[in-house]
Structure 1
Amino acid sequence: MANSYFQFKEFRVEQDKCAMKVCTDSCVFGAYVEVASAKNILDIGTGTGFLSLMVAQRSHAGITAVEINPEAQQQAAENFAASSWANRLQLHPVSLQEFAKYDQQTYDVILANPPFFLSSLKSDNAAKNTAKHTGDLFFEDILAFAQQHLTPTGKLYLLLPPAEATHFAALATSHTLYLADTLEVYTRIGGKCIRHIQTYTFTEVPPKLKQLYIREADSVTYTSEFTALLKDYYLHL
Structure 2
Amino acid sequence: MSKPFQFKQFTVHQDKTAMKVGTDGVLLGAWTKIEDTVNSILDIGSGTGLISLIMAQRSFAEVIDAVELNNEAYIQSVENFERSDWGDRLFCYHASFQQFTEEIEEKYDLIVSNPPFYNSTYKELEEDRAMARHSESLTFEDLLKGVSLLLSEKGSFSVVIPFSEEETFIEIAETYLLFPQRIARVKGSINSEIKRSLVQFSFTKTKVELSELCIEISRHNYTDEYTELVKDFYLKM
Partner of 1:43 in structure 2?
Answer: 43
Q: Which range is displaced more, 192-201 or 119-128?
A: 119-128
Q: CA deviation at 1:121?
A: 4.9
8 Å CA contact 2:44–2:68 kept in 1: the answer is yes
Query: 1:1-40 CA deviation, whole Å, 9 max, x = no partner?
Result: x843110000000001111111123211111112252100
Partner of 1:147 in structure 2?
Answer: 148
Query: 1:106-152 CA deviation, whole Å, 9 max, x = no partner?
Result: 11110110012244451241101111011111111221112112111
Partner of 1:30 in structure 2?
Answer: 29
- Calculate percent identity across the aligned residue pairs: 38
TM, length-normalised to structure 1: 0.95
Structure 1 residues without counterparts, runs of 5 or longer: none
In structure 2, relative to structure 1, the CA distance for the partners of 1:196 and 1:47 (3 Å cut) is: same
> What amino acid maps onto 2:10 in structure 1?
F
Query: 1:68-120 CA deviation, whole Å, 9 max, x = no partner?
Result: 00000110000000000000001101111111111011111101100122444
8 Å CA contact 1:36–1:60 kept in 2: the answer is no
Superposed, 1:49-198 pairs within 5 Å as: 49-61=49-61, 62-198=63-199
Q: CA deviation at 1:206?
A: 2.7
Query: 1:169-211 CA deviation, whole Å, 9 max, x = no partner?
Result: 1111111111222101110122221210011111112323201
Equivalent-residue separation in structure 2 for 1:201 and 1:227 (angstroms): 27
Equivalent-residue separation in structure 2 for 1:44 and 1:117 (angstroms): 16
RMSD (CA atoms): 1.4
8 Å CA contact 2:24–2:114 kept in 1: the answer is no
TM, length-normalised to structure 2: 0.95
